Amino acid sequence: MEMDNIYLKVPAKPEYMLVIRLTTSAVASRAGFGVDEIEDIKLAVSEAGTYVMNHDRSIEWLELTFKVDKEKGMWIDIFASKSVHRDVPFFDDEQIELSFYIMQSLMDVVEKTMDNGVLRGIKMYKKYGG
Amino acid sequence: MNVTHNYNSSTNTWEVSLSGEVDVYSAPQLKEVLHSLLDQHNSSMIIDCEGLKYIDSTGLGVLIGVLKRVKDNKGNISIRNLKPYIKKIFTITGLDKIFLIEVQE
């Protein structure tokens, strides 16, 4: 199985979500996804970053790993620099659930990554033609 | 993100043009602008999204909050000129049944 890995580490601040989206679009395009799929992946990854940040304002970094399987699809891990402890969310619970629902609708797999029962990040997968 | 607005006094409607990208960074600004419009006239709103390139759940949350306030005053929000990939987000979240989505012929 041929696999390319791409890594991105950005400050966990709202102003860097644009950097995450631009990078995600470029990686998804290079991986061979179509225009509509790229839009799906871009929104889902951006939602994941926002979802993690919205739970804890003291997170320092967001680390993203894109794993491109050129025959099947792409895995994306979005990790916080530390476990997420619920602080004061930027937005309300209703919206946070809307965010997760959007991710699930756009991707083939979306999983919360837990660390001793506490959210640490989100892992998602998009298959080609999915 | 850029927001321009005009109050049409003959139809008692806010005409808003929303362009650029609305995300967790710019959504607070959008919230402030739209609520300040309602502070002036709590009336129906038409939002032209021809120049809108991206909106996420934080932006949708702002629009939902504004819609609640407008509906409390018997008004509504029409959204027009959505790009297909943005209309898809309104569809999968069911928001196409809450907002008036105008489709171009």
Give me the domain span that covers residue B35: 2-102
- What distance in Å separates residue B57's CA from the closest CA in chain A? 5
pLDDT at A90 over 90: no
Give the whole-angstrom CA distance, residue B39 versus residue A7: 45
- Encoded tokens for A3: 């696999």
* CATH number of the domain enclosing B46: 3.30.750.24
pLDDT per residue as tens digits for the range B21-53: 999 999 999 999 999 999 999 999 999 999 999
Give the pLDDT score at B104.
64
Residue A50 near chain B (CB below 8 Å): yes
- What are the structural domain ranges in chain A? 3-127
Angle at Cα B85 formed by Cα B82 and Cα B88, nearest 5°?
85
Cβ–Cβ gap B23/A17 under 8 Å:
yes
B105 Cβ contact list (under 8 Å, min separation 6): none
Per-residue confidence band for A58, with pLDDT thresholds at 50, 70 and 90: confident
Give SS3 for A6: strand
Q: ipTM score here? A: 0.90
Q: Which of A36, A47, A94 sits opposite B56 (nearest CB)?
A: A47
Cβ–Cβ gap B23/A92 under 8 Å:
no
Instruction: Give the whole-number percent of chain A exceeding pLDDT 90.
Output: 67
Phi, psi of B43 (to 5 degrees): -135, 175
Give the pLDDT score at B85.
93
Q: Which of B23, B24, B60 sits opposite A98 (nearest CB)?
A: B60
pLDDT at B70 over 70: yes
Report how many domains make up chain B: 1
Give the least confident one: A6-10, A113-117, B23-27, B35-39.
A113-117
Q: Average pLDDT of chain B?
A: 95
Give the least confident one: A28-42, A50-64, A99-113, B85-99.
A50-64
Classify domain A3-127 by CATH architecture.
2-Layer Sandwich (3.30)
pLDDT at A88 over 80: no
What DSSP line would sit under A81-94, residue for residue? SS-------SS-HH
